[in-house]
Each structure stands twice: as C-alpha cells, then as structure tokens.
Amino acid sequence: MGIYEAVMEEITAFTGLSPAAFFTIAGMMVVVYRYVTGMFVSAEDYNKPPVVNSEFVSKYFDPATTTAPSSVQVVGDMTEQELRAYNGSDPSKPLLMAIKAQIYDVSSSRNFYGPGGPYAMFAGRDASRALALLSFKPQDINGNIEGLGPDELQILQDWEDKFVEKYVRVGQLVHDTDSEALPQPTQETQQI
Ligand code: HEM
C-alpha cells in the first residue's frame, strides 16, 4: 500500500470523515483563520508609522509644519474668466465660487457645486446676483449687484456670512482688462 492510501486510511480512521470531507473542512478552516487574522494588525505593523496620503496632506496641510491646516491652496486673485476653469470640470482643480468678488474654495461641498450637483451652475462664477435674487436664471449668475433692493442685498449678505463661516476665502476677482462687466468689490469686502 502506498503512502497516499495509508494517509487516507489514517484520516478516515482518526476523524471518521472521508478524505474529501476532511480536506474540505481543513481548507475552510484555513480560509476562516486567514480572514479573521487579517482583521487584526500584527504587533510589528502596529508600531510602524502611519501611512500618510501625501496628496491629501499637501492639499490640506501646510507642508512646512504639517500640523496646522493651511488655507487650502492659495489661489490668489484672478479674473472672472480665469475663475471659470474652477467649475469642477477639471477634478484636479479646487471648486471655486465667488460672492461679491470674493473667491471661496467650495470643494468641500462638491455634492452641491460639483458637476451634476444642484448648484453646479454657480461653480466657477461670481453668483452674487443669483443668490440675492434666489434665481437660477443664467442671466442672473454674475457679480452685478446693481439695482438690487435692500431685502435682496440682505439676502446676499446672509449668503456671504454663510460662506465666510463655512469656506476658506482664497482670493478675489480682479478686473479683466477685456471686460467691463466686473463689479467693484464693496468697501466691506475690500478690507479683508
Ligand atoms: C425649492 C427651493 C429650495 C430648496 C428646497 C433648497 C434646499 C436646499 C438644501 C436642503 C440645502 C442644503 C443645506 C445644507 O445642508 O446646508 C441647500 C443648499 C443651498 N441652496 Fe438651496 N434650496 C432651494 C432653493 C435655492 C435657491 C433659489 C438658491 C439660490 C439661487 C439656493 C442656493 C443654495 C446654495 C448656494 C446652497 C449651498 C450652500 C452651501 O454651500 O452650504 N437654493 N438648498
């Protein structure tokens, strides 16, 4: 009798199982063992420094200190035309939006302003007029606040307050030499 047959007979004698059943159960035990042990961190790995997603860190943290969050990416001043590039069509760029010529990084609300979002039409734009008028009309999505009444200006102020509190201001709109449509920043916003 060969070794193979002898081993099979021993397995059946010891376990009362057919060799096929024995190996099936043994295989399942190995799988379960590996699955369960995979849920735990080995002592060796536990002491390793954490793996850091450098892309995330460089976006949200100042590389000089890596402790304090920086003002996201300092985008700086730009024209209304340049702002359009930050409307979410390029996922590598932050999502920006302006109110009263002040530009905010609204990337954290990609669900609102990103492509397909309910307020995507405001991304990459100064949406002051639309927000003041609570309008989604394309002709209102601009920074022209001329002719707005006190109630509308108050609504716009409330939006600005919300944005100042919620988002990081990353720059302001500057005049495009080719365009005359840009509003002047108000006195209040000029102080920032
Ligand atoms: C049918 C009317 C509307 C409903 C039911 C509605 C509902 C909402 C809700 C539930 C949110 C999320 C609020 C949060 O989680 O902070 C929101 C956000 C927002 N809504 Fe509306 N909305 C309406 C009309 C408008 C209009 C007319 C405008 C402006 C033209 C507008 C502009 C915005 C903006 C800009 C945000 C995002 C604010 C942020 O960045 O936190 N909404 N809306």
Identify the structural domains of the chain with CATH numbers, from first to last. 3-46 (no CATH), 66-190 (3.10.120.10)
* Triad 140, 152, 141: Cα angle to 5°: 15
pTM for the predicted model, two decimal places? 0.63
Is residue 164 over pLDDT 60? yes
Indicate which residue's Cα is closest to atom 34 of ligand 1: 119
Of 186 and 171, more confident: 171
Say how many Å lie between the CA of residue 116 and the centre of ligand 1. 15
Look up residue 40 and give its DSSP letter: S
Residue 19 has a pLDDT of: 86
Rounded Cα gap, residues 157 and 126, in angstroms: 14
37 strand-pairing partners:
none
Say how many Å lie between the CA of residue 123 and the centre of ligand 1. 14
99 strand-pairing partners:
102
100 falls in which pLDDT band (50, 70, 90)?
A: very high
Residue 15 has a pLDDT of: 87
Q: What is the pLDDT of residues 42-89, one digit of tens each?
A: 777 777 766 666 666 566 655 554 443 444 556 789 999 999 999 999
| Three-state secondary structure call for residue 51 | coil
Indicate which residue's Cα is closest to atom 24 of ligand 1: 134
Phi, psi of 51 (to 5 degrees): -75, 130
